[in-house]
Amino acid sequence: MRFAVKNWQLSQLFLSDTGVHEVELETKSLKLRCNCVGFKNRSSCKHVRFVRERMDQNGGVYATHVSTKAPAIEANLAMHSPEAFRNLLINYGKIEVV
């Protein structure tokens, strides 16, 4: 029996009235999910809509904005591991406010 391994990767952090929320992208299917209460209740939220709109504008790609102050070694490690990519975004990524 084969098991489908899903690789969820952090795409964007959002600062909202209810806290900091994370939108993740499943790398194979391009499905999105968020850790906010709205998404958990309705499987939809303003954070996911924001990311999806940006992906549609950019031909299916979500451009993350990372500070040029990020060390090159961390940026290189981030290309190989979802955990390292998450750490890079948390430490050096742009946080959107919606």
Number of domains in the chain: 1
Assess if residue 2 is contained within a domain. Answer: no
32: tokens are 């999105």
Which pLDDT band holds residue 81 (cuts at 50, 70, 90)?
Answer: confident
DSSP code at position 58: T
Assess if residue 3 is contained within a domain. Answer: no
69: tokens are 């102050």
Assess if residue 74 is contained within a domain. Answer: yes
Distance in angstroms (rounded) separating the CA atoms of residues 66 and 77: 14
In the prediction, which pLDDT does 21 show?
Answer: 95
Range of the domain at 24: 8-97
Assess if residue 1 is contained within a domain. Answer: no
Assess if residue 24 is contained within a domain. Answer: yes
What would the pLDDT profile of 42-63 be if each residue is shown by its tens digit?
999 999 999 999 999 999 888 8
